[in-house]
Structure 1
Amino acid sequence: MFTRFIPNNFKKLGRQIVYVPKHKPPEQRDFETLREFINRHQKILVLTGAGISTESGIPDYRSEEVGLYARSNHKPVQYQEFVKYPKVRQRYWARNFVGWPRFSSVEPNGSHLAINRLEKAGKVTAVVTQNVDRLHQKAGSEYVIELHGSGYIVKCLSCPYEIDRTELQEVMMRNNPAMESSFTMIRPDGDVELSKEQVDEFRVPLCPKCDGPLKPNIVFFGDNVPKVRVEQVRSQVASSDAVFVLGTSLTVYSSYRIILQAKEENKEVVLLNIGPTRADNIVDIKVSTKCGEILPKLCNSIDS
């Protein structure tokens, strides 16, 4: 059996590990600042990153001590390597197969639910998320743009075939009935760490229509966000009157350019995140604390 390494500042809710970095609790002035921001606007675009899902048990990449990069030497799969090398696809699908039951069963936390409440209150017009976990949809949000795609859809790289990820899991279970199900850690995209022997024995799924390689509908590192999606996001930013950024360092340009557009269009941009971000020097307001310790309370004040 594998052993999980849990740093001292990890928290556990029942059997669930919560990957939240060290942070200061919110102050009353933080709450007042964000409440005033929400009250000033009626068309807020919400932009979320991995930090919104850490309280649900999905780690982010970059947080100090608890992020994936801080806990391992693992680097996310590169798009060109996935397309070019069968061994890379085998390693990816083996890890994803073992991690899927846990990843797909993760539930939304108070932050996801709070965003949905703001949406129902008529304050949020769209949610743009960099996450592939579909927790916003599980929380009830109706208009979600998945900037980097979704782990719940799988497509063939050679033909138009696509399949629901849950259905593909059943196919892989039939093809790999003896696959070991224990693992050391889950990753932001749902895969886990496995031994070389486990990977080498894994039978990779192929397209039933053309025997082509299958890939989750996720924008891998080194790939580009589809132009149609980029324009969809651009249109939503243009029609909003403010942008509320939650749980992201904005390191990836596909998210950072949303902030650049908003500032070019003189929209107010507020950022709620633990730790520094790429946009700290250009946003209007920055609050550094945990989303889950302030968003639910904020919604209670708006509702009333």
Structure 2
Amino acid sequence: MGFTVVIDQFSTATSSPGLNIRDTLERSVDGLRDLLDGKRTVVLTGAGLSTDSGIPDYRGPDSPPRNPMTIQQFLGDPEFRKHYWARNHIGWRFMDGSAPNAGHRALARLERDGKVTGIITQNVDLLHTKAGSRNVIDLHGTYAQVRCLTCNHRVSRHSLSDRLDELNPGFAESVTAATGVEIAPDADAVIEHTAHFRMADCERCGGLLKPDIVYFGESVPRERVAAAYEMVDNSEALLVAGSSLTVMSGLRFVKRATKLGLPIAIVNRGYTRGDDVATLKLHAGCSDVLESLAAG
């Protein structure tokens, strides 16, 4: 249906020796700009957009094998849940301190210029909001809120962190000093020794606390999905940035755009499940492409 442009050192060196990587990028972005020109564009973003901010993705070409936690594990295994909270107590700080990259800033600029009407993000890192984007649907929630599964009371992750520090004095400092920290997606950190970690329950009812993000195996709230569908329905084009579209959570919006007959552009390193319906696919990093798009 569409066509793919591959932007990497091998393709430019072997197929067009007279072009450098920047020439190829700019010509490809020109095609993307022509496709989206004058159209109300909604952007669907995934973890590949945030890698330039130091946040790893799940399925990028260079990503290690990952076994993301499921909602069944979190609810059904107290030891697993303790291990998770210990990892999260370290990892969320890194995500909280992360800064938007050029791709996030470019999308915020495109929104201010009236070219992007809204963003649907599968990321939980709040980097779109930090960059200045206003019309953002955090499809899977964000790392910054924690919810009680019994009474639905919500508290900030900062507030819970203070309580966990009191229950586990010196834990964060000792883990970081002893082993360093490898950050995993969804505000996790890769650490092993967590048996002595103490969890916190809801201060209101004593119920189970859970980060207010959608885990694997859990459904996105219906009203959030409906709002995202409405955003696509009111658009004239869909741009996917940094998502492999492996899970239906994001792929459904590509299917919706296809049904509506909207042009679909995808910017992502590697294969995506939307490639066969894309009007244009750029196999490239998000930051460079989006920054060039906004500059035009």
TM-score between both structures, scaled by the size of structure 1: 0.86
Give runs of aligned pairs for residues 156-195 of structure 1, distance below 5 A.
Answer: 156-179=148-171, 180-182=174-176, 183-195=180-192
The counterpart of 2:88, out of the listed 79, 85, 96, is 96
- Taking the aligned partners of 1:230 and 1:294, their CA distance within structure 2 comes to 28
Contact 2:36/2:237 (CA < 8 Å) preserved in 1? no
Q: Give the structure 1 partner of residue 133 of structure 2.
A: 141
Count of aligned pairs between the two proteins: 272
Deviation at 1:277, TM superposition (A): 0.5
Greater relative contact order, per chain length (Cα 8 Å cut-off, separation 6+): 2
Whether the 8 Å contact between 1:132 and 1:150 is mirrored in structure 2 is yes
Name which of 65, 82, 86 aligns with 2:74.
82
- 1:241 and 2:239 correspond: no
Corresponding position of 1:3 = none
Contact 1:60 1:68 in 2 (8 A): no
1:201 to 171, 196, 209: 196
Rounded to whole Å, the distance in 2 between the matches of 1:58 and 1:228 is: 28
Quote the residue 1:15 is aligned against.
Answer: none
Partner of 1:63: 60
What are the within-5 Å matches in structure 2 for residues 154-303 of structure 1?
154-179=146-171, 180-182=174-176, 183-196=180-193, 199-301=194-296
Offset, 1:81: 1.6
Distance 1:270 1:102 in 2: 31
Give the partner amino acid of 1:142.
R
Q: Which residue of 2 aligns with 1:37?
A: 35
Paired AA for residue 175 in structure 2:
S
Shift of the 189–68 alpha-carbon distance from structure 1 to 2, 3 Å rule, reads: farther
The Cα shift of 1:295 comes to 1.4
CA contact (8 A) 2:268 2:283 kept: yes
1:98 and 1:191 in contact (8 A); partners too: yes
Give 2:148's aligned amino acid.
Answer: C
Match of 2:103 in 1: 111
Q: Name the SS for the 2:146 alignment partner.
A: strand
SS of corresponding position for 1:145: strand
Per-residue CA deviation, residues 280-299 of structure 1 (Å, 9 max, x unaligned), is 11111101111112211221
- Tell me, in whole angstroms, the C-alpha distance in 2 between the residues paired with 1:81 and 1:294: 38
SS in 2 for 1:244: strand
Which has the higher mean CA deviation after the structures are superposed, 76-85 or 106-115? 76-85
SS of match in other structure, 1:287 = strand
What are the ranges of 5 or more consecutive residues in structure 2 without an aligned counterpart?
A: 1-6, 10-20
Distance (Å, rounded) in 2 between the aligned partners of 1:100 and 1:236: 29
Q: Is the 8 A contact 1:23 1:274 kept in 2?
A: no
Q: Which runs of 5+ in 1 are unaligned?
A: 1-21
Q: Is the 8 A contact 1:59 1:68 kept in 2?
A: no
Deviations 1:174-232 (A, max 9, x none): 11112123144101111111123xx1111101100111110011110111111111111
Tell me how far apart the structure 2 counterparts of residues 23 and 201 of structure 1 sit (CA, whole Å): 47
Deviation for aligned residue 1:64? 2.1
- Give the aligned residue type for 2:77: Y
Distance in structure 2 (CA, Å) of the matches to 1:63 and 1:152: 25
For 2:120, the equivalent position in structure 1 comes to 128
* Distance across 1 between alignment mates of 2:230 and 2:64: 33
Query: What's the CA shift for 1:23?
Result: 4.5
Preserved CA contact (<8 Å) 2:46 2:242 = yes
Cα pair 2:38 2:115 within 8 Å, conserved = no
| Structure 2 counterpart SS, 1:101 | helix
Q: In structure 1, what residue type is equivalent to 2:198?
A: R
Please give the secondary structure, in 2, of the residue aligned with 1:201.
Answer: coil
Q: Which 10-residue stretch deviates more, 118-127 or 177-186?
A: 177-186
The 3-state SS of whatever aligns with 2:119 is strand
User: Secondary structure at the residue paired with 1:230?
Assistant: helix
1:17-32 equivalences in 2 (<5 Å)? 23-24=8-9, 25=21, 27=24, 28-32=26-30
TM-score, structure 2 as length reference: 0.89
Give runs of ≥4 in structure 1 deviating > 6 Å: none
Determine helix, strand or coil for the equivalent of 1:154: strand
